[in-house]
Structure 1
Amino acid sequence: MARPPSEHVQVVKQKLIARLNDGLHRPGSRFMSNRAIAEQYQISYQTAHRLVTQLVDEGLLERRPRAGTYVAGEQHGFKRVHLLFNKRARRADSFGFRLMNCLKTALSDAGFQVQVSLLGNDETIKLSEKYYPIIWELPAMVQASIQWGGHALLLNERVEHGLSSLRIDSISVDDLLGGVMAAEMIASRLPQGCKCVIHAGPRDDARSQARVQGFRKRLSARVVHAPTWYLDDASASVNRCMKLKPDAIFACNDRLAQAVLEYCKDKAVSLPMLIGFDDAPIAETLHLSSIAIPWKAFAESTLRLVKQRLDGDHSSGTDVILRPHPVMRLTM
C-alpha cells in the first residue's frame, strides 16, 4: 500500500492550489514546470510530477503534449485589438497621429482586426474581453483598465506597478538616454561653457523629468517649465527661455521646440541651436533636429505583444523600453 504523503508534500499541494486561485493564473495560462516546482518547494522532481498529475486529475491543470502544463478552464481570450487614443491624435502633424496610423497599418497588415476610438482625457468606455486595449495619453482609461483587471497595453508611458497593475503591458522610450543624446549633440558643436536652456514639459511629468535629468548629466542648463506639452500654452515659457539669451535650447518635445522657432521668427531674432524630442511629423516640416522615437521598433514591439496576448498568454505584464536616436536637420 502506498505511503500517505508527508505533511510537507501536503502543504506544497495546498500552496499550488492557492497559487491557482490567486486571480493571477487565468484559464489557458502556462503553469509552473515540474522542475520549477521541485526547486521552489524543495521536493524531488518525481514528487512534483506526482502533485501536478493529481491537480490534472482534479481538473485544475491540463497537460499539453510537448507544450507544458496549463491552467484548466474555459478561456476567454482576446480576438481583436482596440486602439484607444487621445483626441489630439486627429491632428495630422502630431505625434499621436503618426503613432496611431503607424500601429493601425502594422496591425492590419499583420492580419489583426483593429477598432479605433478617440477620447478626451477624462473619458472612459467599457472594456471588453474580446478586445486587447492599447491606450495612448488617456489617464482615465489607464485607471479604468487597472480596475478592469484584464491585460492592456500603454504606449509611451509606464505605470507604477503593484498588485493592481500586474496585467498592464507598456512600451516606452528611454527618456533619460534621449536627454543625454541631446546634450552630447550640442556639446559636439558648441564650445565649452556655452549657455544651455531646457524648455521642459510640466514639472510633475515623469518623461520630462527624465529628459531633463539625462541632459544635465552631460551639460549644465537652466530649466524653464511649460505648463503643458502643447504649443498653444508655451508662449510664456518660451519668452522666459529666450530672455536667458541661450546659445542652445533643448526642448523636451517638438511642440515646445516649435514654440521657440515661432518666437524667433515673430521677434526677428537669431535662433539658438535647437533640438526637440519625438521626431513627430511637425519636426520634419520645420526642418527641426530631434531625438526620435524609434517608430519601426515601436510597431514591431506592439505586434509582438498583441500576438502574445491574442494567442492566450495571460502572464504578468511586460515593460518594453526602446532606445531613441538623433535626427539631424537644419536647427543644428
Structure 2
Amino acid sequence: MARPVSEKVRRVDRLLRDHIEAGGLGPGERFPSTRAIARRHDICYQTAHRIVTALVAEGLLEARRGAGTFVAGAVPAPTGVLLLFHPRAKRPQSFGARLKALLEAALEKAAIPYATSWSVSQLKRRPGLLPVYWESQPTGDVRSGLTGPKTFALLLNDRRIPGIGGSCIDTISTDDYSGGVCAAEVLLAHKDFRERAGLLKRAMVLAAHDGDARSRDRIAGFRSLLPIDLRRVVHAGSWNREDGWNAAPLLFSQRPTALFCCNDRLAEGVIGFARAKNLDLPPIVGFDNAPVAEELNLTTIAIPWQEVVDTAVEIIKTRMAGCTKGARRQILAPTVVIRTGPY
C-alpha cells in the first residue's frame, strides 16, 4: 500500500505549480532541476523527481533529453524590433548611417515598431523586441533553445555565427570574395593596364586588420585574378578614414600603379593624404558604396543596400509572424559603380 502524500510534499507541489501558472517562468524557460528542488525544499530526491515527472505528464513542463526540464508552451513572437548599431553609424556620410536611415524608413513604411540603441545592454530592458545588429555581436541573450527559450536575432552585413547559438541568428551578408574579383576586373579594364600589362605587378591593396574575415575574402578574390605579391597588401588598424591616412605613407613609398581599398573610408584617408602632400593618385577602387564614395567621385564595389534592407524587413516580418525555423543565410552579390575618379 502506497504511503499517503504528506502535507509538506503537497505544499511543495502547489508552490511549483503556482510558480508556473502565475507566470513566474515564461514558456521555454528552464525549470529548476530535481536536485535543486530537493535541496531548496528539504525533500528527498525521489520525491522531487515524482513531482517533476507529474508536471511533465500534465503538460506543464517538457523534458529535453540531456538538457533538463523547461516550462511548456510556445515562446511569444517578437512584437517589434530593437536596432543595435555600432556608434560609428552616428557619423554623417558613413554607410552605417545610410543603412540605419534606410532600414528605419522601411520599418516605418511596413508599420513595424522599432527602437534604437547603441548598446547591447539595452536588450534585457526591451523584452519582446527582435534584436537587429550592425557591427555589434549578439550576446548570450540570443539562445538556441538548448538551455532556455528559443529566441532569434538578425545580423546585418556580417557572417554567420558558428555553433549552437548561430542556429537562431539570421544573417544578411555580401559576397566579399566576388567583390574582390570585381575590383580586380575594374583595374584590369583600365586603359593604363591594357597598354602596359607590366604595371599590374605594382598594384597594391589596403585592407583592414589581418584578422577581419571580410577583408581577408576581399583580398583573396582580388588576388585570384590579379596575383600580386602578399607584401603589396598593407593592413590598416581598422576600417576608418584615419587608418587609411596613417597607412598612406607606406603605400606611396612603394609607388603603387593601382590601389584597391577594402572599404571607402580607407580610400578617403589615402585620397586625403595624397591631396595634403600634393601626390599623384593611381587608379583607385573602393568597397561599400558609402555616401563618401559619391562625394569623392570614387569607383567602388557596391553593397546592394536596398536589397539588404528589403531582405531584412522580409525576415523580420517572418519572425514576428511566429516562424521558429532555423536561421536564414542570405549572401548578396555586390555590384560595380564606375565613377571618373578623384583625380
TM over 0.5: yes
Which residue identity is paired with 1:144? G
SS of 1:217's partner is helix
8 Å contact from structure 2 (residues 243, 269) kept in 1: no
Which residue identity is paired with 1:173? T
SS of 2:102's partner is helix
SS of 2:214's partner is helix
Structure 2 residue 150 is matched with structure 1 residue 143:
no
Looking at structure 2, the residues matched to 178 and 268 of structure 1 have their Cα atoms a distance apart, in angstroms, of: 30
Select between 177-186 and 261-270 the one with higher mean Cα deviation: 261-270
Residue equivalent to 1:114: 114
TM-score, normalised by the number of residues in structure 2: 0.72
Looking at structure 2, the residues matched to 186 and 236 of structure 1 have their Cα atoms a distance apart, in angstroms, of: 24
For the aligned residue pairs, the C-alpha RMSD in angstroms reads 2.1
Residue equivalent to 2:214: 207
Structure 2 residue 258 is matched with structure 1 residue 260:
no
Which residue identity is paired with 1:285? E
Residue equivalent to 1:161: 162
Residue equivalent to 2:282: 272
Would you identify which runs of 4 or more consecutive aligned residues in structure 1 move more than 4 Å?
Answer: none
Which residue identity is paired with 1:325? T
Structure 2 residue 149 is matched with structure 1 residue 171:
no
| Distance change in 2, residues 1:281/1:145 (3 Å) | farther
Select between 159-168 and 95-104 the one with higher mean Cα deviation: 159-168
Matches within 5 A, 1:41-190: 73-119=73-119, 124-127=121-124, 128-139=126-137, 142-146=138-142, 150-189=151-190, 190=193
Matches within 5 A, 1:12-23: none
Q: CA deviation at 1:159?
A: 3.1
8 Å contact from structure 1 (residues 196, 220) kept in 2: no
Counting matched residue pairs gives 262
Q: CA deviation at 1:269?
A: 1.4
Looking at structure 2, the residues matched to 75 and 257 of structure 1 have their Cα atoms a distance apart, in angstroms, of: 46
Looking at structure 2, the residues matched to 203 and 100 of structure 1 have their Cα atoms a distance apart, in angstroms, of: 27
Which residue identity is paired with 1:315? K
Looking at structure 2, the residues matched to 287 and 74 of structure 1 have their Cα atoms a distance apart, in angstroms, of: 52
Residue equivalent to 1:39: none
Identity of aligned residues (%): 37
The gaps in structure 2 that reach 5 residues or longer are 1-26, 29-57, 61-71
Residue equivalent to 2:65: none
Structure 2 residue 255 is matched with structure 1 residue 245:
yes
Residue equivalent to 2:203: 196
Looking at structure 1, the residues matched to 110 and 234 of structure 2 have their Cα atoms a distance apart, in angstroms, of: 43
8 Å contact from structure 2 (residues 303, 334) kept in 1: yes
Looking at structure 1, the residues matched to 74 and 245 of structure 2 have their Cα atoms a distance apart, in angstroms, of: 56
8 Å contact from structure 2 (residues 85, 133) kept in 1: yes
Looking at structure 2, the residues matched to 129 and 161 of structure 1 have their Cα atoms a distance apart, in angstroms, of: 25
Any idea what the Cα deviations from partners look like across 1:126-153, whole Å, max 9, x if unmatched? 34441011001123xx133445851000
The gaps in structure 1 that reach 5 residues or longer are 1-25, 28-57, 61-71
8 Å contact from structure 2 (residues 296, 341) kept in 1: no
Structure 2 residue 228 is matched with structure 1 residue 218:
no
Looking at structure 1, the residues matched to 140 and 341 of structure 2 have their Cα atoms a distance apart, in angstroms, of: 41
Q: CA deviation at 1:264?
A: 1.3
Q: CA deviation at 1:96?
A: 0.5
Residue equivalent to 1:281: 291
Select between 218-227 and 228-237 the one with higher mean Cα deviation: 228-237
Select between 90-99 and 226-235 the one with higher mean Cα deviation: 226-235
Looking at structure 2, the residues matched to 275 and 124 of structure 1 have their Cα atoms a distance apart, in angstroms, of: 38
SS of 2:216's partner is helix
Which residue identity is paired with 2:234? V
TM-score, normalised by the number of residues in structure 1: 0.74
SS of 2:154's partner is strand
Q: CA deviation at 1:154?
A: 0.6
